[in-house]
Each structure stands twice: as structure tokens, then as C-alpha cells.
């Protein structure tokens, strides 16, 4: 299902490999064994959720309100809690996030599918349940709302006691389409590069308020969720954090050489400095000084947000030696965010993230996956 993962020690010198690995730069090919799921019939009535597996006994659990859909049942409730692996996927009601939930659930992981909009989140879980996948529940999460994040933390604490996998998928593009048809006719996101910035006038726009929101979600929101869930991840035997990145996060989009090397040099970079860089970008963005000060000129806020996320990924890997923290570029995938343009299906786009979530304990940390291949954090250009 996956391509063999190759790495170059000279290019990936900052990637941390687990000290227990016999060869620090060996990463075996990860092959996901998709399990055949038993058909599950769910009957709701009188506040109780009944789950009947084919060839098995009924499993009952006290269900909460239809509105919340925090179903208090576990199809494998006979297993000790320590043996049950659970994952949180943010922004998971559709697209890549939804598909990550589906693929991880088929691996036997208990999934907490999160989304800001409750009705869409519930509908996503219903869709998975109706396909026979029962080990998925919904919990509301707005990653820029601290109270919402804390509600999720409390839920996981009471329900699972720990967290094994966090997939940070929630993101926004920060742009609006002025003429979507012409944008698609011109090559869609294949044409979004700084050399072509003038030709994109009248096709897409990036208002300051959307750019600011993009950074609040893509970087600060992701950081808020991750920081809040770290204590629960540290209780896991094999914790994993997967940050959905992008080729748009590559530093070649920056035209300020000093800034590029500063963001690339993980030995001197700090979270405080990342925050300073973002605030500096927002000031320049507001007064239209992006070109003058060497910032990306197209999808600017999105590119800065993903570059910041890449840097944060590497810092987290260094800080938390017992957690595998990696960034994954899913590829140019056909989703709503890309206006249904792209060259990969969501099934293909989710593969790298699922692989990173299921890495063996001697896998890399602080690494970048270009789809399913281990690749360097690079200053050079690479295809989207």
C-alpha cells in the first residue's frame, strides 16, 4: 500500500530516531494491514446504544443525548483500557481528515472525530457507522477556542485516560476566489507561485482578516490543541503526533535569506521566535509590505502558517523525546480546500498521515514526509 521510505542521513541530520533502534537511520517499510470489519447494527432507544456484531453478543452502553452523540459504548469493551489505542483527528468531518479517521478506524484504533460544526461532525460519524465502522465517535472541537479544547481534554481523560495518536488536520487557506472558473482554467494551485502573482489578480484574493484567521487556526490553533493534549499523550506507551503540513510550507517561498536560514536552523530556533516571525509577517501583511520584506506573495498567510508548523514540529520532537512528532505533506489532493482540484484522491492523500500515525517505536521523529516518503525539510523547491 505504501512506497518504501528512504532517507539521506546528510539531508535529515536533525531527524531524531528512537535510541532503541539498532540502526538510527533504518526505517522499515510500513505496511498497513487493513482489517475486515464486522458488520455492526446500532439501535438507539431509551438512552441506551445497542451494538450487535455478527456472530457475537450484544454490547450495551449508556448513551448520552442524541444532540451530543458522545456514545458511551465500546465495541471491544472486554479489552483492558491499556490495550485500546485511541486517536484524535481535528477538522475531520470531510476531506483528508475524514479519510484519516476511516483508515485508522480500520486498523482497530478508537477514533475521536472532531469538527467545529456539530451537525457536520455527527453526520460524518453516521456515515462511517453506516459503512460498518463502529469505533468512531464525535466530539465538538474548535481549535481556536480554549474552552472547546479543554472540554475535549476532559472528555478524553474521563473516557480513555490517555491519548495515543493526535492528527492535527484542521486548517484554512486564508484566500477567497474572485473568479473560480478562470482560476481552475489557469491550472488552479499549480499556478500559485510568486513569479505568477500578477496573473492571479482578479482570480484569488487574500484579505488581511482571512490571513490572520488562517494563522490563528493553522499554527496557533494546532499548537493550542497539541500543548493541551501532551500530558495525555505522555501516558501512552507509543504516542504519535502527526501535523498535516504542505509543500507550501517549504522555505523556498520566503525571499528573505536570513529569515529562511533562521527558521531552518533548529539549533537556535525557539517557539518565542516563531511567534515573533508570525507577528512581524502580520504587520507587514497589514501595510502591504510583503514584497519589500521578503515574504511569500501568493497564499502568503497559508505558506507562513505551514512553515511555522514545520518548525514547531521539529521543536516538539526535540522537547518530547518519548513522542514521535512528524509533519506530513499529503500531496495535491482533491478536496474542498483545493476547490475540488488536485491530482490525488483523499484515499491517497490520507496514506502518509496514517502511516506516520502508525510508525513503529523506532521510527523517526522531527521528520517530514512527502506523502509516504521520508524527505528533508528543505530550502529548495519541490512539486506540490
pLDDT above 50 for 1: no
Catalytic residue among 138, 189, 219, 302: 302
**pLDDT at res. 81:** 62
Map residue 141 onto helix, strand or coil. coil
**pLDDT at res. 188:** 94
- Over the stretch 23-47, which tens digit does the pLDDT of each residue have? 323 333 333 333 333 333 333 333 2
Clarify whether 302 is annotated catalytic: yes
Q: How deeply is 8 buried, as exposed, middle or buried, from its count of CB atoms within 10 A (0-12, 13-18, 19+)?
A: exposed
The pTM (predicted TM-score) of the whole model is: 0.82
| Contact call for residues 228 and 148 (beta carbons, < 8 A) | no
**pLDDT at res. 170:** 98
**pLDDT at res. 260:** 94
Mean pLDDT of the residues in the chain: 84
The neighbour count for residue 202, using CB atoms within 10 Å, is: 10
- Over the stretch 134-181, which tens digit does the pLDDT of each residue have? 999 999 999 999 999 999 999 999 999 999 999 999 999 999 999 999
Nearest to 193 by CA among 243, 244, 247: 247
- Which whole-number Å values give the CA distances from 65 to 43, 47, 58, 146, in the listed order? 14, 7, 21, 24
Nearest to 337 by CA among 197, 195, 242, 214: 214
Amino acid at each position: 500500500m505504501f512506497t518504501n521510505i528512504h532517507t539521506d542521513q546528510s539531508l535529515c541530520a536533525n531527524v531524531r530516531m528512537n535510541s532503541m533502534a539498532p540502526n538510527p537511520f533504518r526505517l522499515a517499510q510500513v505496511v498497513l494491514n487493513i482489517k475486515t470489519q464486522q458488520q455492526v447494527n446500532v439501535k438507539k432507544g431509551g438512552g441506551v446504544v445497542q451494538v450487535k456484531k455478527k456472530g457475537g453478543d450484544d454490547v450495551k452502553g449508556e448513551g448520552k443525548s442524541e444532540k451530543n452523540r458522545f456514545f458511551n459504548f465500546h465495541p471491544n469493551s472486554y479489552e483492558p483500557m491499556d490495550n485500546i489505542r485511541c486517536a484524535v483527528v481535528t477538522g475531520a468531518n470531510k476531506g483528508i481528515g475524514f479519510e484519516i479517521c476511516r483508515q485508522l478506524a480500520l486498523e482497530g484504533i478508537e477514533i475521536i472525530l472532531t469538527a467545529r460544526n456539530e451537525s457536520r461532525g455527527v453526520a460524518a460519524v453516521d456515515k462511517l457507522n453506516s459503512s460498518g465502522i463502529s469505533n468512531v465517535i464525535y466530539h465538538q472541537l474548535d481549535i481556536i477556542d480554549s474552552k472547546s479544547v479543554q472540554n475535549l481534554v476532559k472528555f478524553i481523560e474521563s473516557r480513555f485516560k490517555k491519548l495515543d495518536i493526535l492528527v492535527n488536520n484542521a486548517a484554512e487557506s486564508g484566500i477567497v476566489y474572485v473568479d473560480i472558473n478562470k482560476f481552475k482554467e489557469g491550472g488552479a494551485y499549480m499556478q500559485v507561485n510568486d513569479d505568477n502573482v500578477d496573473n492571479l489578480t482578479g482570480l484569488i484574493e487574500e484579505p488581511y482578516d482571512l490571513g490572520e484567521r488562517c494563522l490563528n487556526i493553522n499554527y496557533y490553533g494546532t499548537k493550542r490543541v497539541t500543548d493541551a493534549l501532551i500530558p495525555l499523550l505522555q501516558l501512552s506507551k507509543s504516542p504519535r503526533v502527526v501535523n498535516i503540513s504542505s509543500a507550501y510550507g517549504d522555505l523556498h517561498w520566503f525571499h528573505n535569506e536570513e529569515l529562511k536560514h533562521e527558521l531552518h536552523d533548529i539549533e537556535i530556533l525557539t517557539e518565542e521566535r516563531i511567534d515573533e516571525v508570525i507577528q512581524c509577517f502580520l504587520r507587514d501583511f497589514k501595510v502591504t509590505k510583503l514584497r519589500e520584506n521578503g515574504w511569500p506573495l501568493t497564499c502568503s498567510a497559508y505558506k507562513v502558517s505551514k512553515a511555522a508548523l514545520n518548525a514547531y514540529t521539529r521543536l516538539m520532537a526535540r522537547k518530547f523525546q518519548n513522542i514521535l512528532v512528524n509533519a506530513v505533506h499529503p500531496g495535491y489532493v482533491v478536496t474542498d480546500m483545493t476547490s475540488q482540484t488536485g491530482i490525488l484522491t483523499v484515499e491517497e492523500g490520507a496514506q502518509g498521515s496514517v502511516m506516520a500515525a502508525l510508525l513503529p517505536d523506532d521510527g523517526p521523529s522531527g521528520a517530514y514526509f512527502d506523502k509516504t516518503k521520508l524527505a528533508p525539510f528543505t530550502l529548495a523547491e519541490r512539486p506540490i
